[in-house]
């Protein structure tokens, strides 16, 4: 647990860069993100998804936790890339190292994990997956909207941003934010625009 | 209106401007971004705002420093170069863009150049449809301001064609293969929302397959067939 706090404190001091996690779970940071991004490293690359984060969170091994912390740092934008140094001689000694080897593929040396690809579950669905969980138009959630929320939804459906809605209704910007969140939630939408689309689909907006 | 000149591209834009750079891969993106931002780095009367998904602005700054061989920390400290960030909430992301751009204009900069890489499927970032809504609100938000905003779209990375259409429909101009054009597909924000955005394929209700209740054998079509050679 201590290593988690140390890692977060350390990444907070760095703007961008690469987090390098060695096989002992030690995390160091470099400032060579662009060199890596220029493909100068020659390392195999693996995309990061939240499933990868969850996989590492699932291990009690502190090395896995260190990698999970580095992934979180990438998600939070404090680190853009990171490498996992891999020691082949330890490959068969633990499931954790084996999983790293699987990421690594057949290439020896380090694996460079890059590019946040998001989580495959709501609220960050990929477009191709979104339809699968889109329950379609429903009036159930709409019935729970308050009169003010309906006003806000109507203005959302006209394309107004929150600041413009606040000005139009004569209420605080932060109040509008709260109403928008509530509208999105009550309509079972994952995003502002899905709520607007549903409003059109069920006739709340024309 | 203020003219927006590029370092090497001879074409000139006027403000306010919202341009989509459609590129293939990082190499082309960096070349065009440098072409766009280069003149601002050498002109103290111009300001730069860098934004994008988490970590994007810092990466852009590092790229500029490496490409030009300059330490830009002084410009960052005096807020002639401002680093911003996106947000999961597209409305907040819009304010994150418009507030500093307005502030820079109010401080008297003759031109504010903005670069923001478009991104999808990024943790902590707006859903694609909300991102496109954000894009559609950018141009109305900078109306009357000496601001030019370049959004970079990597055509090699786009996960859905609808997003490329969105780029063409939400930006007044495009740059493709280094050529700047008015986007023939551009739609004003309100019209874009009602005719395109709410009809994105993944927002449409899923059609339920109809149960087949009977099968009828159909005979050969009657009448003359089209003659082909």
> Peptide bond preceding B16: is omega within 30 degrees of 0, i.e. cis?
yes
Residue B202 gets which letter from DSSP?
Answer: G
The pLDDT of residue B99 is 95
Task: Compute the average pLDDT of residues B67-95.
Answer: 91
Judge: B202–A127 Cβ closer than 8 Å, yes or no.
Answer: yes
Judged by CB atoms within 8 Å, which residues 126-145 of B form the interface with A? Answer: 126-130, 132-133, 136-137, 141
Residue of chain A nearest B163, judged by CA positions: A127
Size of interface A-B (CB pairs under 8 A): 140
Question: Is the CB of residue A126 less than 8 Å away from at least one CB of chain B?
Answer: yes
Chain A partners within 8 Å of B129 (Cβ) = 191, 193-194, 197
Chain B partners within 8 Å of A75 (Cβ) = 54, 123-124
d(CA A51, CA B173): 38
Is the pLDDT at B229 greater than 80? The verdict is no
Judged by CB atoms within 8 Å, which residues 149-168 of B form the interface with A? Answer: 159-160, 162-163
Residue of chain A nearest B134, judged by CA positions: A161
Task: Compute the average pLDDT of residues A100-127.
Answer: 37
> Is the whole model's pTM more than 0.80, yes or no?
no
Task: Compute the average pLDDT of residues B14-27.
Answer: 92
Task: Compute the average pLDDT of residues B132-149.
Answer: 95
pLDDT band at B215 (very low <50, low <70, confident <90, very high): very low
d(CA A170, CA A159): 18
Its ipTM equals 0.81
The pLDDT of residue A50 is 56
Q: Kindly report the nearest CA distance between residue B172 and chain A, in angstroms.
A: 18
In whole angstroms, what separates CA B159 from the centre of its chain?
A: 15
pLDDT tens digit sequence for B168-186: 999 999 999 989 999 989 9
The pLDDT of residue A64 is 67
Q: Which two tokens stand for residue B176?
A: 């493709």
pLDDT tens digit sequence for A189-201: 888 999 999 999 8
Residue of chain A nearest B202, judged by CA positions: A131
> Peptide bond preceding A123: is omega within 30 degrees of 0, i.e. cis?
yes
Distances (CA, A) of B121 to A12, A74, A109, B44, B173: 24, 14, 29, 36, 25
Q: Which residue stretches of chain A are H helix?
A: 2-12, 33-37, 50-57, 62-76, 95-104, 127-133, 140-143, 147-157, 162-169, 173-186, 192-201
Judged by CB atoms within 8 Å, which residues 57-76 of A form the interface with B? Answer: 74-76
d(CA B137, CA B96): 13
Distances (CA, A) of A24 to A2, A21, A71, A73, A158: 15, 8, 17, 19, 55
**Which residues, in sequence order, are CB contacts of A121 under 8 Å at separation 6+?**
A50
Question: Is the CB of residue A163 less than 8 Å away from at least one CB of chain B?
Answer: yes
3-state percent helix, strand, coil for chain B, nearest multiple of 5: 40, 20, 45
In whole angstroms, what separates CA A59 from the centre of its chain?
A: 20
């Amino acid at each position: 647990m201590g290593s988690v706090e140390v890692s977060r404190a350390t990444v907070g001091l760095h703007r961008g860069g690469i987090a390098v996690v060695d096989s002992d779970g030690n995390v160091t940071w470099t400032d060579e993100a662009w060199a890596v991004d220029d493909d100068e490293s020659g390392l195999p690359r693996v995309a990061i998804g939240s499933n990868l984060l969850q996989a590492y969170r699932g291990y009690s091994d502190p090395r896995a936790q260190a990698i999970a912390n580095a992934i979180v740092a990438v998600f939070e934008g404090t680190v853009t890339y990171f490498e996992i140094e891999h020691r082949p001689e330890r490959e068969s000694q633990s499931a954790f190292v084996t999983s790293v080897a699987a990421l690594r593929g057949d290439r020896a040396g380090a694996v460079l994990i890059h590019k946040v690809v998001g989580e495959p579950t709501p609220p960050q669905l990929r477009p191709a997956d979104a339809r699968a969980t889109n329950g379609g138009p429903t009036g159930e959630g709409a019935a729970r909207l308050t009169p003010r929320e309906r006003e806000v939804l109507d203005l959302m459906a006209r394309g107004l941003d929150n600041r413009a809605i606040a000005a139009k209704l004569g209420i605080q910007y932060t109040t509008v934010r709260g109403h928008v969140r509530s509208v999105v939630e009550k309509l079972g939408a994952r995003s502002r625009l899905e709520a607007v689309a549903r409003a059109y689909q069920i006739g709340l907006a024309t | 209106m203020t003219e927006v000149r590029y370092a090497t591209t001879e074409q000139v834009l006027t403000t306010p401007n919202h341009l989509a750079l459609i590129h293939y891969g990082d190499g082309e993106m960096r070349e065009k971004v440098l072409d766009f931002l280069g003149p601002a780095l050498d002109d103290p009367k111009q300001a730069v705002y860098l934004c994008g998904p988490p970590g994007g602005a810092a990466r852009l700054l590092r790229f500029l420093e490496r490409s030009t061989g300059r330490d830009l920390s002084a410009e960052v400290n005096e807020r002639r170069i401002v680093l911003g960030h996106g947000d999961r909430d597209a409305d907040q992301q819009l304010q994150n863009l418009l507030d500093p751009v307005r502030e820079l204009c109010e401080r008297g900069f003759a031109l504010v150049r903005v670069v923001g890489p478009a991104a999808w499927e990024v943790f902590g970032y707006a859903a694609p449809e909300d991102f496109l809504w954000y894009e559609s609100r950018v141009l109305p938000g900078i109306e009357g301001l000496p601001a030019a905003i370049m959004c970079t779209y990597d055509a090699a990375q786009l996960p859905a064609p609808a997003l490329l259409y969105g780029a063409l429909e939400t930006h007044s101009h495009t740059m493709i293969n280094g050529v700047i054009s008015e986007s023939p597909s551009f739609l004003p924000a309100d019209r874009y929302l009602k005719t395109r955005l709410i009809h994105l394929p993944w927002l449409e209700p899923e059609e339920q397959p109809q149960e087949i209740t009977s099968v009828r054998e159909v005979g050969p079509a009657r009448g003359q067939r089209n003659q082909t050679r």
